[in-house]
A and B are shown apart, each in its own frame.
Chain A
Amino acid sequence: MNAIWLMYKRDLASFYRQPLFFMLAGICCLMWSPIYVYAFGIFLTQLVTQMGATGEVLSYHDRVVVEFVALVNFLLLLSTSSIAMKLISEEKKNHTMTLLFVSPIESRQIIVSKFLSGLTVAWSLVGISLLYPLTTAFLGKLYWPTLLSSYLGLLLFAAVYVSIGLFMSTLTSSLIMAFVMTLIANMSLWFLGLGSDLAPQPAVAAFFDYISFDLIFKDFSLGIIRLTSVVFLLSTIFFFLAAADRALEASRWK
């Protein structure tokens, strides 16, 4: 535990000492700000137009937060690819992995500490994005359960992206390769659900629906938290962490 904490602290300090995190946060804010303001503006316009009319009341969450959370997720997918390349690939490239290998530490401790540090950085970005709905909360009533459900989804998806990135990072000492491989792997997750449309049988279609990241994310955005989805995401994280551990151990046998 001490070794995990030690490496976690070092890696986290390294992330915040170097410009990468601030560049990512800056790029995210540059993208989020105009889009959020635009979505919020349209919502306000529609709200004014609807004033006095009867019928369905416009929902701030549905019109603004859902769209915004989808954008946050997309940028998170890109950002975690950059974060992942620093996790193991950079250690290999700088030969610092040797220091960890010859220290009294197990591979799984290295993996857990790297995952936690990458996750903290990714969650920091999620935390920054939360400021947007919070700053406009005073203009109307925020529906907290749906907002929290959306953000729980973001946190879990960020963890999935980081675990996949960590695994990819163990496979190469090239930062660019780690970035590209993580990006491709994370993006391909979103196409898993397509199998549902192509499936010949309902049971197969149901399986693809179960593992469809698209559907799972939509559920979280709408405030629906399914235990099966949470278990699936946690299993995915665990699977890639275990794979990363094996890949790291295997690299010492070459």
Chain B
Amino acid sequence: MLKVKNLTHFYGPHRAIEDLSFQIRPGVIAGFLGPNGAGKSTTMNILCGASLGYEGEVWISDVNLRSHPLEAKKKIGFLPEHAPLYEDMQVRAYLEFVADLKNVPREKQQEYVDEILHALSLEEVQYRPIYKLSKGFRQRVGLAQAFVAKPELIVLDEPTIGLDPQQINEFRKLIVACKGKSTILWSTHILADVESTCDEIIVISKGKIIASGPQSLLREKLKGKSTARLIVKKASEAFVQSLRSHVGFESVAWLADEHTYRIEYVEPMSMDLILKEAVKNDVSVVKMDQDSVALEELFLELTQSKERR
């Protein structure tokens, strides 16, 4: 769907992004992460055709952005960092205007506009001029313009800024509803958003991609050591001894106050094996879970290790 190859961009002598290459499959929701100044907005502006001074190539559904810009742009919906709103227009008229600009057939315009107004709960303000709306509503109108033409690729630069928690939740639902229909690339600082909605993650730092791929794979790649937490009724020395005999066992700690074993291990040891040993040694397990690497840790690990290098 989206293919980026060797993308490089300079602001004067300063290299904003360097040799970015990645792909996003059709219908996938991808999170674009990186600290401030990493080059996320620059990349997004290029991908959407707003910025031209770049080296490298971008394809959107096999259409080359450089050689067929008009054709490629028909497939894109973009919410930049600052929502592009004509504040003197009414919400509905503005969305109709955007749909018209994006070449949505006249007979479908009303339907598309109605759909997005409903999805973003903008119906009550549809006949109000945009300058009279609150910040949250304006951001939603900005989002609506990116979605209104039902483009194949939707690029969102910090889309949840200015939204309250309920609106963020509605926005997440909208994103999830688009899954499989449109490909979405969005940048955000709220890692919980990415964690709950994105299939893939691209992490960028200082203009370079430092990790990209499915979220689960990235976690797997980084986590290395796993930690199991077993809440049991009673401690058992036999159970601990049997764990120690397995390849992959790293350490075990008994947290008496919580009646919990904290077991660190690496492959080939697994949760299954730990559970089997517990049953074999007659340990009554009340609860069992595995600490997973939070996206926040993942993000920090990736960006900080890059900086250290």
Interface size on A, residues (CB 8 A): 25
Contact check, B49 vs A254: say whether CB atoms are below 8 A apart.
no
List residues of chain A with CB within 8 A of the CB of B98.
99, 103
**Who on chain A is nearest to B78 by CB?**
A102
Tell me which of B50, B83, B88, B97 contacts A17 (CB under 8 A).
B88
B78 touches A96 (CB 8 A): no
Verify if A98 is at the interface (C-beta below 8 Å from B).
yes
For A10, the chain B residues whose CB sits under 8 A away are 86, 89, 97
Most buried by B among A17, A98, A106: A98
A49 at the interface (CB under 8 A from B): no
- Is B73 positioned at the interface, with any CB of A under 8 Å from its CB? yes
CA distance A102 to B77 in the complex (A): 8
Which A residues are CB-close (under 8 A) to B86? 10, 14, 94, 96
A99's partner among B70, B87, B145 (CB-CB below 8 A) is B145
A202 on interface, CB distance cutoff 8 Å = no
Structural contact, B88 and A96, CB atoms closer than 8 A:
no
Binds A, one of B20-28, B100-108, B190-198, B253-261: B100-108
| Residue B223 lies at the interface, judged by CB distance under 8 Å to chain A | no
In the complex, which of the residues A18, A94, A252 contacts B50, with contact meaning CB atoms closer than 8 Å?
Answer: A252
Cβ of B34 to closest chain A Cβ, rounded Å: 20
Within 8 A of B (CB), among A37-84: none
Residue of chain B at shortest CB distance from A253 = B53
Measured between beta carbons, the chain B residues less than 8 angstroms from A17 are 88
Q: A6-B101, A105-B101 are in contact. Are A253 and B52 (CB under 8 A)?
A: yes
- Complex CA distance for A253 and B89, rounded to whole angstroms: 30
A104 touches B88 (CB 8 A): no
Contact with B along A183-209 (1 / 0, CB 8 A): 000000000000000000000000000
Within 8 Å CB of A100, what residues of B? Answer: 101
| CB-based contact A95/B70 at 8 Å | no
Residue in A closest to B51 when the chains form the complex, CB atoms: A252
- Check B88 against A101 for contact (C-beta < 8 Å): no
Let me know if B117 is at the binding interface, CB within 8 A. Answer: no
Chain A residues in 8 Å Cβ range of B87: 94
Docked Cα-Cα span, A14 to B102, in Å, equals: 20
Residues from chain A with a CB closer than 8 A to the CB of B50 are 98, 101-102, 252
Chain A residues near B49: list those with CB within 8 A: 101-102
Instruction: Write the chain A residue with the least CB distance to B72.
Output: A104
Q: Which residue of B lies closest to A3 (CB)?
A: B101
Cβ–Cβ < 8 Å partners of A18 in chain B: 88
Distance in angstroms between the alpha carbons of A100 and B73 in the assembled complex: 10
Q: Pick the contact of A252 from B53, B73, B88, B100 — CB < 8 Å?
A: B53
Distance, CA A72 to CA B82, complexed state (A): 40
B248 lies within 8 A of chain A by Cβ: no
In the complex, the answer to whether A103 meets B85 with C-beta atoms within 8 Å is no
**A96 with B85, Cβ < 8 A, contacts A102-B76, A104-B70 known:** yes
Asked whether B219 is an interface residue with its Cβ less than 8 Å from the other chain, the reply is no
Per the 8 Å Cβ criterion, residues 79-94 of B in contact with A are 80, 82-89
Q: For A96, what are the chain B residues with a Cβ–Cβ distance below 8 Å? A: 84-86
Cα–Cα distance between A100 and B78 once the two chains are bound (Å)? 11
- Distance in angstroms between the alpha carbons of A90 and B70 in the assembled complex: 24
Q: Give the distance to chain A from B63, nearest Cβ to Cβ, in Å.
A: 11
A107-144 to B contact mask, C-beta < 8 Å, 1/0: 00000000000000000000000000000000000000
Contacts of A106 in B (CB 8 A): 70
Q: Which single residue of chain B is at the shortest CB-CB distance from A17?
A: B88
Shortest C-beta distance, A99 to chain B (Å), equals 4
Within 8 A of B (CB), among A217-254: 249, 252-254
Contact of B103 among A94, A104, A254 (CB under 8 A): A104
Residues of chain B contacted by A252 (CB below 8 angstroms): 50-53
Q: Would A95 and B82 be within 8 Å (CB), given that A6-B97, A17-B88 are in contact?
A: yes
CB distance from B61 to the nearest CB of A (A): 14
Asked if residues B73 and A102 are in contact (CB atoms below 8 Å), the reply is yes
A253 to B87, CA, bound (A): 27
Q: Are A104's CB and B53's CB within 8 A?
A: no
State A252–B51 Cα separation when bound (angstroms).
5
Residue of A nearest to B81 (CB): A95
A-B pairs with beta carbons under 8 Å apart, 8 shown: A14-B89, A18-B88, A99-B145, A103-B98, A105-B70, A249-B52, A252-B52, A253-B53
Q: A104-B71, A252-B52 are in contact. List 5 more A-B contacts (CB 8 A).
A: A14-B88, A96-B85, A99-B145, A101-B49, A249-B52
Closest 4 CB pairs of A and B: A99-B84, A253-B53, A95-B82, A103-B101
